[in-house]
Structure 1
Amino acid sequence: MSTNWTARDVPDQHGRVAVVTGANTGLGYETAEVLAGRGATVVLAVRDPHKGEQAAARMAGDVAVQQLDLTSLESVRTAAAALREAHPRIDLLINNAGVMYTPKQTTADGFERQFGTNHLGHFALTGLLLDRMLPVPGSRVVTVSSTGHRIRAAIRFEDLQWERSYSRAGAYGQSKLANLMFAYELQRRLAAHGAATVSAAAHPGVSNTELVRNSPAVVRAPLSRLAPLITQPAAMGALPTLRAATDPGVLGGQYYGPGGLGEVRGHPRVVTSSPQSYDPAVQQRLWAVSEDLTGVEFPLRTSPGPGPSLRGAGAAR
């Protein structure tokens, strides 16, 4: 594989089944399009099936659409049941969909919207599909986080749903930190289980997508003007996810992001996340709370205790 890893480095994907959430636009679309172009059977798991069908029509290859609303655990369970029926095996689950800087809102189940969508919805979906992946050699769960996991971010166990006060940036940071902690704790449990599946994470840097559409106008307007200067195209932003999903050298617990200054843009490489993201005690507490909130238990043995940190797992920067 080249140092400047690109979509051309994605290996042949024929015979593999990939489920990509939020794949009708932006990073998810770019990720799904490359996988389909390399021969994978790709499922676009999207909230709006009509937009999903429009996206699928623009892709070459074997592409299907599955309705999935991550703000509803009922929808997550329905989608997982349909996917399980359609696919006896799943090689790739890419937890890509997300919302950012939304006003204070709750999901159908009463969760703060960013935490409920970005973390709890994906936690539940992964748990409901994982037994379709565990026996499959080379199978991977890739969870997409953000550099926002460093900004005003903490897992607020005393007020996970931001009922006492609300910060758009703080709630987003918590959800993206939770994404990373989930990816790391999932890898620890997969390794203890002796599973063929590995868990990795990725972030897109600062990419030109629709994710900031929920930001306040005072933020959105200057970002729109500055976007050509400070962002990279969605196709570049998707590369860390694609590398985490397909590079044969990826190890469980690794985190991929752009290799340029500040991880804003550039070709993907292994990066490190914030120190708190590697705290195994918090990871396990978050896991237990997430199981309780979603009612989803994973087909894995209990985590073997805090154990060694996954920080820098498997490769140098």
Structure 2
Amino acid sequence: MAIITTSDLTKVYGRDFVAVDHLNIEIEKGEVFGLLGPNGAGKTTTIKMLTTVLKPSGGTAVIDGHDIIRDSLAVRKVIGVVPQDLTTDEDLKGIENLMMVSRFYNVPEERARETIKELVRLVDLEGAMQRYVRQYSGGMRKRLELIAGLVHSPKVLFLDEPTLGLDVQTRSQMWKHIEEVRENLGVTIILTSHYLEEVDALSDRVAIIDHGKIIASGTPAELKASLRGDVITITVSSENDVEKMLEYRGATEVKDLGGNRVRLKVQSADREMASLMNYIVSSGISVTGINVQKPSLDQVFLEYTGREMKDEEPGDFRSMMMRMRRLRR
């Protein structure tokens, strides 16, 4: 059952700049939905419209039965936003921050404390609530931010860059907490991240947006399977060697990447490697490097957009959340 449905959702700036172009997506209740896109693709504009911060130029969306245009206040009550920037007050204790957020949403104090107690247990922060936030580690701050977006018991959580700046070990712990939140609370999560392995690990489904349109969608496994094979990148010594590599017939696709690098797309690198090595030796090609990549979301993203994921402008989600809080008052 879909909890979010967009119907020709469109945003046009000025006379002719189409940021989001007749977007139609359905997000199922209780799933983690990864939304990816390069800078300027329309991802942030889409989220701003879904969170009622930005009014569409055309079309609409329905979240938990509420239209984002006609019932914007009702929408704000059922969604939570956790931005990539840290928004909790360092000069307040953990519990004081959470109680302050609960008051933004007019949650009765007794219910707020009960909800906070459960959330704190989920993310292992029981012993930190009476400590000032400035004493928290980076991972603790991120966990506090996560549950700050849940104190009013939203049905949909917009989660932007949840592990930005964390080390690998702390990041994996944060993944576990996000999964526990989804499992225990049944909340639907819209996830955006520049760590594509994070989106792969957490998302039930992923959509890639570019030029305001969804250009690919499916489960992570389906998207990776769409690449139809592995990628072998070979670095050679000369342009003459590049020309020889471009004549290799065992690949489904051969491309000159420049810089004496050639990319081969093959059905299976494991099966193809012996034939490839024989060709290199028999052709007298001087190879300085070989890199084999199995299908990944990074490759999927590059394949469909022609670009690599780059950092978004900082502070965008923070300003969005602060505006939402003002609108709720």
With structure 1 as the length reference, what TM-score do the two structures score?
A: 0.30
With structure 2 as the length reference, what TM-score do the two structures score?
A: 0.30
Greater share of residues in strand: 2
Greater share of residues in helix: 1
